[in-house]
Amino acid sequence: MTDSHTSWLERVYQPATKKALRQATFRRSTGEEVPPLYTGDGSAEFPGQFPFTRGVQATMYRGRLWTMRQYAGFASAAESNERYRYLLARGQTGLSVAFDLPTQMGLDPDHEQALGEVGRVGVSIASLEDMETLMAQIPLADVSVSMTINATATTLLGFLYVAAERQGIDPKLLQGTVQNDILKEYMARGTYIYPPRPSMRLITDLFAWCASDVPKWNTISISGYHVREAGCDAAQELAFTLGDGIAYVEAAIQAGLTVDDFANRLAFFFNGHNNFLEEVAKFRAARRLWAKIMRERFGAKRDESCKLRFHTQTGGSTLTAQQPDNNIVRVTLQALAAVMGGTQSLHTNSRDEALGLPTEAAVEIALRTQQIIAYESGVADTIDPLAGSYLIEQWTDELQAKAEQYLARIDELGGMVAAIEHGYPQREIQDSAYRYQRAVEKGEQVIVGVNQFQSQQEVPMPIQKIDARIEGEQVARVRALRERRDADAHAQAMRALKDAAESGANVMPKIVDCVRAWATTGEISGVLREVFGKHREVLVI
């Protein structure tokens, strides 16, 4: 054991173990105890120390496993609540909420553009009433909640905040994450409402409000997942994700916030893709690059401000409708890469997701995949087990360098918002997706069961079906809510929200007041549309 390793054990690792390790000792099958860290010749970096290449915590998974957070939500709030409690009963350790398209786009279930979409790709949440049903019998003080919501993030967090109050829970105890990453919507996903610049204001309003009112809440999950799903490569995923992060930090500073007061509540969200070794290197490069950005570019003084904490979801675009059982293998490898790369939480996709929303049986296999990696594989017994591999170290360096080249180009264009307005990341993603698709069509990129090793006869698989009656029932609920609420209190709250939006005041307190007055998702978004306008996509050629 080197002197530097001994020093790390005494100064960082051992004090961190005051929060008990998962078990007293970690042993191999032959009986030898597994050390917390391997350092080779002693020149390696240490976990929990800047620049965090080897992990953001000193103990990593020896102290606590990643959060097993299965993404779920469909149909009504009541049905989704049943799925959440099903998963929690089987060992899931955090919730991840999927919302339907009308909720994401700020439309109530009875809006004409919501027709046929209510409850289809996620749960329909139109009001505080729905949020209370969604979180019924779930202890919000103990279970962290992640919400994949962007354009309407302020509204949905407002619903959760008031739902916690009405459960008798101090909202200051709420833990979780709201995605709140609007820039990637313009690049890759499309669930935006307002133009980029007022959307950035909503994000910084949420930052400032959470700092005082929901201090344990992660205010944004800066997402590379969706740009990777749209077709970019690993270096582009890094660059565009961290480029978005830079834009959010700059916006918050311009809004008067101090970097060390909010940076530790930033979270990231990456894709777990197919190339196992490249993905491990990607995660390590992301931590190191973000630490450098925060310290050198923004002058962050606290180590906590420089730590890149991230959630991973396995790659939905890699799943195939052909031979769907093969997806279990794909997801296992992708999840293992995320763990070997040091993720803080993880969602594993279900084998049937290329066919429809996952069934309970498929979801349970996906969750068991995480649990087998955690408890049977041994990869969580020591920290950053692939460090020192010649390949991993070189690929980590190369991915960082390529990402830095993209970031330099984004700076030349005036930052990420300006780059998006110019169509730069959109073109890069489109070109990358085209190259990949051509490789698949030529057989240069093998997809097992699709362009090679096809089966003549596919085995049928049960598919989750959404009852068409759900939409009518949800429409009836929201209309009944409008009839029975206090019309004067509602109108007063809506006027106050419009005044705040027009004056530049923080809109979050007024959104919370609207929620308490039983305003709906569509109504709150409608006020903000009236003030901010709607974004119109520019065709990128």
Encode pLDDT of 427-472 as tens digits.
Answer: 999 999 999 999 999 999 999 999 999 988 776 788 888 888 999 9
Q: What is the pLDDT, as a whole number, of residue 114?
A: 96
**Checking DSSP bridges between strand 345-347 and strand 310-314, what pairing results, if any?**
parallel
Q: What is the pLDDT, as a whole number, of residue 331?
A: 98
Report the C-alpha gap between 43 and 276 in whole angstroms.
Answer: 25
For the chain, which domains are there? 60-442 (3.20.20.240)
Calculate ∠ Cα 532-518-483, nearest 5°. Answer: 110
Mean pLDDT value of segment 129-153? 95
Q: What is the pLDDT, as a whole number, of residue 245?
A: 97
Instruction: Convert the pLDDT of each residue in 333-381 to its tens digit.
Output: 999 999 999 999 999 999 999 999 999 999 999 999 999 999 999 999 9
Asked if residue 77 lies in contact with residue 127, where contact means CB atoms within 8 angstroms, the answer is no
Report the C-alpha gap between 270 and 268 in whole angstroms.
Answer: 7
Please give the radius of gyration of the chain, using alpha carbons only, rounded to the nearest integer: 23
- Quote the mean pLDDT of the chain: 94
Instruction: Convert the pLDDT of each residue in 168-201 to its tens digit.
Output: 999 999 999 999 999 999 999 899 999 999 999 9
Q: Give a three-class secondary structure readout of 234-265.
A: HHHHHHHHHHHHHHHHHHHHHCCCCHHHHHHH
Of 162-166, 390-394, 535-539, the one with minimum mean pLDDT is: 535-539
Residue 540, pLDDT > 60, answer: no
Instruction: Convert the pLDDT of each residue in 272-328 to its tens digit.
Output: 999 999 999 999 999 999 999 999 999 999 999 999 999 999 999 999 999 999 999
Residue 505 burial by Cβ neighbours in a 10 Å radius (0-12, 13-18, 19+)? middle
Report the C-alpha gap between 7 and 37 in whole angstroms.
Answer: 13
Residue 65, pLDDT > 90, answer: yes
DSSP 514-533: HHHTT--HHHHHHHHHHHH-
161-196: burial string, b at 16+ Cβ within 10 Å, e else: bbbbeeeebebeebbbbbbbbbbbbbbbbebbbbeb
Residue 538, pLDDT > 70, answer: no
Contacts of 63 (CB under 8 A, 6+ apart): 16, 17, 19, 21, 22, 57
Residue 541, pLDDT > 60, answer: no
Q: What is the pLDDT, as a whole number, of residue 539?
A: 60
Q: What is the pLDDT, as a whole number, of residue 18?
A: 74
- What secondary structure letter does DSSP report for 455? -
* Residue tagged 């307002």 (tokens): 194
Q: What is the pLDDT, as a whole number, of residue 519?
A: 98
Contacts of 102 (CB under 8 A, 6+ apart): 108, 109, 111, 113, 114, 117, 118, 124, 126, 521, 522
Mean pLDDT value of segment 500-511? 98
Q: What is the pLDDT, as a whole number, of residue 496?
A: 98
Whole-prediction pTM: 0.93
Quickly state the pLDDT bin for 5 (edges 50, 70, 90).
confident
Report the C-alpha gap between 463 and 472 in whole angstroms.
Answer: 22
Report the C-alpha gap between 138 and 152 in whole angstroms.
Answer: 23
Q: What is the pLDDT, as a whole number, of residue 138?
A: 94
What type of residue sits at position 357? L
Scanning 142-233, the segments in alpha helix (DSSP H) are 153-166, 183-184, 196-213, 225-229
Asked if residue 382 lies in contact with residue 342, where contact means CB atoms within 8 angstroms, the answer is no
Report the C-alpha gap between 481 and 23 in whole angstroms.
Answer: 51
Q: What is the pLDDT, as a whole number, of residue 460?
A: 79
Alpha-carbon dihedral angle through residues 52, 248, 184, 539, given to the nearest 10 degrees: -140
226-248: burial string, b at 16+ Cβ within 10 Å, e else: bbbbbbbbbbbbbbbbbbbbbbb
Tokens (6 digits) for 285? 């490069």
Residue 43, pLDDT > 70, answer: no
Beta bridge partners, 269, equal 223, 311
Contacts of 132 (CB under 8 A, 6+ apart): 163, 166
